[in-house]
A and B are shown apart, each in its own frame.
Chain A
């Protein structure tokens, strides 16, 4: 099974709301990733967790906060977002985070910030 699941599929939130995106995989992978994809653009990496260690894209604003409760689960906490944060948020995982391993992507959460 090479499935990465993401919930919710769609999310609409106001700029003062707090919400969370969830990602889960049961492939035994030890690296998980959050990407942001704007319309007609390629995905851009936001965060990487590899063996519970976090690597951050320094251009990502602090209103995005990742959390990795265990090696199968990855959350993205959202707070005080801006309309320009509206995008498709993709989660991915790979085995042990080693360089030769394929990244498997979830279907994404489409976020709209009003």
Chain B
């Protein structure tokens, strides 16, 4: 079964440093998403991405965050200057079409980001 792959599985970074979280969506998928889950809290939507641009973003997704699809396979989330409160599990997801919830919406296994 096709998978969404995220690397690394765990990243520790110092406050103020930039981090890039990487995701490889399922190959024929066109819609990409990032979610995060702060420990003990809900999984929260961050951003959706289609056709090389952001289609929707949440209030959490401020200027410190950016997403990119640098090549045909990777989808990255960059946090420019990490804060302690950015510590969370970050999930990538992809779907085959804009009918996202109907067409193979799949989550990755997550990257646990720890900011110290």
Query: Do A and B share a complex?
Result: no
- Which residues from chain A sit less than 8 Å from chain B, CB to CB? none
- Which residues from chain B sit less than 8 Å from chain A, CB to CB? none
